[in-house]
Amino acid sequence: MNPLFAQTQVPAQPMLGFVWVALLVDFIALMIFVWWVVESSKRRHQRREWEHNERMRMIEMGMPVPPRESSWPKAFLCSVIGGGVPFLAFTFTYMAHERPGSADELWLVPAIISGASILATSILAGHLFRPRPASNADASHVAMKPMHDADAFDVVGSRG
């Protein structure tokens, strides 16, 4: 074969076009995520400002202010039960399994306990985070005319 016409093999290079497109898509996704975080932060700040103005207006009008309910204690309780119980169950099972002569069926117990605790935590979270309907006790601060005549129920005083 003639060396002048021999084909030389060029080492394969990575497709730079694909890498740049992937980097561009990642950059756009990151920018969308940053925009979403900033916008949601603005909305939360505006909502807190509205709640503050509403509370100040209620105080100015002499109305009792309802207490604020924080969801952090409820979420913390659900997290501790849902994560702590399985962690402790498997930790103590591992410690017991390290003893010589322990059976492999021992791992069934923490699996059952973990499943039950996660199910119970899900039910608890559904109960704790369910919106509560307004009760009559919550509406007691509204100054309203009584719906009945107090003398209509005074049976003892009308007998003479």
pLDDT, tens digit (0-9, with 9 covering 90-100), for 16-37:
677 778 888 888 999 999 999 9
CA distances from 43 to 6, 8, 31, 129 (A): 68, 63, 18, 21
Query: pTM (2 decimals)?
Result: 0.44
Question: Is residue 108 over pLDDT 80?
Answer: yes
- Provide the pLDDT for residue 149: 64
| pLDDT computed for residue 8 by the predictor | 64
Spatial CA neighbour of 85 closest among 109, 108, 107, 117: 117
Dihedral angle, C-alpha 3, 7, 12, 17, nearest 10 °: 130
CA-CA distance, 90 to 87, in Å (whole number)? 5
Residue 106 Cα to chain centre, angstroms: 33
Q: How far is CA 141 from the centre of its chain?
A: 31
Bigger pLDDT: 147 vs 53? 53
The DSSP 8-state label assigned to residue 105 in this structure reads G
The pLDDT value given to residue 20 = 77
User: Which residue did the predictor score with more confidence, 114 or 129?
Assistant: 114
Residue pair 80/124 in contact by the 8 Å Cβ criterion: no
CB 121 within 8 A of CB 81: yes
Residue 138's nearest CA partner among 77, 33, 63 is: 63
Residue % of the chain over a pLDDT of 90: 31
